[in-house]
Amino acid sequence: MCQTIVSAIVIVLAIGLAGPGWASGDFMVYPAKGQSQDQMDRDKFECQRWATEQSGFDPLRTPTTTTPPPPKEKQVGGAGRGAVGGGLLGAGVGAIAGGRKGAGRGALIGAGSGALVGGMRRSDQQRREDQRRQQWEQEQVAQYARGRNDFNRAYQVCLEGRGYSVR
């Protein structure tokens, strides 16, 4: 489910970055040698097919990710787990140092310290996972943009080779 959501986000970003599809007006095409509208439509279609073959990019195909998102790390214990571990450790140390009264005080100090450390570890892990996911998303968008640019160049070259002015 989460992977699907992330993939959808990447696709939306890629489409937004690349702009509208070739058919909706990336280029202004002018028949510089008096070609008819029918001829221009045929040439555009043939150039679209040729550009797809040359670039390996099809602007009519739904964008997809090329690699899976980065895996999540094995989850470390958070604040609750740290509090329990710290409390047990603190109680043991406190009992050795100060008897029964020291055990209670040590448990409180250990639980607080453990909760703090556990929360910080989990927060750091979440930050690393977020950074890896953002980097992966940026790579996917950049790869889509490169493919789109390669297609656009090939499409433009084909149309110019057939006697059209393309801007």
Q: Name beta bridge partners: 166.
A: 29
More confident residue, 145 or 73: 145
Whole-model pTM over 0.75: no
CA–CA dist 150, 133 (Å, integer): 26
The amino acid that residue 60 corresponds to is L
Q: Is residue 69 part of a domain?
A: no
Domain, as residue range, for 143:
2-64+76-166
pLDDT digits (tens, 9 = 90+) for 44-76: 999 999 999 999 999 999 988 888 888 876 665
Query: Is 39 contained in some domain?
Result: yes
The SS3 assignment for 165 reads: strand
- In this structure, the number of other CB atoms found within 10 A of the CB of residue 19 comes to 13
Domain tally for the chain? Answer: 1
Mean pLDDT over 18-45 rounds to 79
70 lies in some domain: no
Q: Is residue 37 part of a domain?
A: yes
pLDDT in tens, 114-127: 666 666 777 777 88
Examine residue 126 and state whether it is found in any structural domain, yes or no: yes
Q: Is residue 134 part of a domain?
A: yes
Q: Is 157 a member of any domain?
A: yes
